[in-house]
Amino acid sequence: MTNNDHLDSLAQLVLPTQDLNEDLAFFYELGFRLDQIFPADDPSVAVISGHGMSIRLDKASEAPSTTLHLLTDDPDLIKDGRGSLLAPNGTRIEVHPKTYQLTTPPTRHKFEVRQLKDNDSWVIGRAGMLYRDLIPDRLGGGIIASHISIPKGGPVPDMVHYHTIGFQLIFCYKGWVRLVYEDQGSPFILNAGDCVTQPPEIRHRVLESSDNLEVIEIGVPAVHMTTIDHEMELPTSSFRPDREFQGQRFCHHESTQANWKAWTINGFEFRDTGVNEATRGLASVVVIRPSKGVGASTQLSHDADILFRFVLQGTLQLHVAGKAPMNLRSRDAFVIPPALTYQFKDLSEDLEILEVSLPGHYKISFPK
């Protein structure tokens, strides 16, 4: 059996019927058409089609009642826009939007710390990858941060797909992964320390990875749709690095090409990934580290809507107003809500922290 065998076959949904004429009249009003009916002298089976599906109404069927979703972006065309209908045979018809509607809920601000020592179980997600949730509360649905692992390297059973999303980041933490993106040239290797943004609905595919691959994936909002594109083949023939996808450009940052600069906070420096520019200020992604010999920061606060940080290496002690000090190390993550005062202390010299902020530009204050 091949992947194309389904092109020469047809699937039918079997529904019971007690009165074929009543059920046919009902489905006609919903836009279905009659394709087959038999026997001619006393019909007991009718095959109808519409809205991309085929239904077999069968008097001999003992199938239980079911629910059909009719998807349309113009619900007024179906029974005057009524959202729920009941057929004579007991089938419930629900009318829903055809085009997925992305909804970004308001951020529910909260101080959150997620440590690897919490021993949370990894769950199996899409394409067999292991997922660890870094913000269980997800700030009310505003963001999802996942620590993703592929222990055994090799080809990844992924398909060309895209995400209906506001902002998405892939940061390679350990190992490497080979990726390919629509209009962005040939497949390439994303090494540890590198990152890419996945603009809304850009087609892409994960091809293969090293053993023990670990990436940090950020998605805004937390709930978004992944759609498989069965038609597009990657790589595409065109190379359009400046193409915009809903106002965002694809951004590929390579850590080996980065320049470190002085950060807003005295005694710290950062490397910018270019995400702020590529997303037109929607988000910023930087890696920060203390300058040599710096053991602590000043008291800090900020006005960002979302400020997520992940400890890439080294250790620190996090002091937050009203909380007991917390010792953090690599693979720990934390979210600081706006206006909350905090401070970094006992910084190891090898400390590096990944920071993701929304919006890309935010103000840091220094409370006394």
Q: Which helix (H) or strand (E) holds 277?
A: helix 275-278
pLDDT of residue 2: 46
Laid out side by side, the sheet with 84-86 consists of: 67-71, 92-96, 84-86
Distances (CA, A) of 21 to 17, 45, 54: 9, 11, 18
Q: Which two tokens stand for residue 201?
A: 């609905």
Domain 112-249 and domain 257-365, same fold? Reply is yes
**Comparison of pLDDT for 55 and 1, the residue scoring more:** 55
What is the C-alpha to C-alpha distance for residues 190 and 167, in angstroms, rounded to an integer? 19
pLDDT of residue 330: 96
pLDDT of residue 127: 62
3-state helix, strand, coil in the chain (%, to 5): 10, 40, 50
| 349 pLDDT above the threshold of 50 | yes
CA 93 to mean position of chain CA atoms: 29
Distances (CA, A) of 362 to 25, 340, 357: 60, 14, 8
Please report, for the chain, the start and end positions of each structural domain, with discontinuous segments joined by +.
Answer: 12-96, 112-249, 257-365
| 226 pLDDT above the threshold of 80 | yes
Q: pLDDT per residue over 143-183, tens digit each?
A: 999 999 998 899 988 999 999 999 999 999 999 999 999 99
| 7 pLDDT above the threshold of 70 | no
Q: pTM for this structure?
A: 0.88
Residue 106, phi-psi category: left (phi > 0), alpha (psi -120 to 50), beta (remainder): beta
Q: Which two tokens stand for residue 122?
A: 């990894």
Distances (CA, A) of 34 to 20, 61, 349: 12, 19, 74
Identity at 324, one-letter amino acid code = A
Q: Which residues pair with 149 in a beta bridge?
A: 130, 214
| 269 pLDDT above the threshold of 70 | yes
Q: Which residues pair with 169 in a beta bridge?
A: 197, 218
Minimum mean pLDDT range among 85-89, 123-127, 206-210, 360-364? 123-127
What is the C-alpha to C-alpha distance for residues 231 and 254, in angstroms, rounded to an integer? 30
- Hey, what CATH class is 12-96 in? alpha beta
Task: Indicate the pLDDT class of residue 126, thresholds 50, 70 and 90.
Answer: low
Q: Is CATH 3.40.50.1100 the right assignment for the domain spanning 257-365?
A: no
CB neighbours (10 Å) of residue 5?
8
The domain 112-249 belongs to what CATH superfamily? Jelly Rolls (2.60.120.10)
What is the C-alpha to C-alpha distance for residues 308 and 113, in angstroms, rounded to an integer? 10
pLDDT of residue 101: 87
Burial class (CB within 10 angstroms; exposed 0-12, middle 13-18, buried 19+) of 184: buried
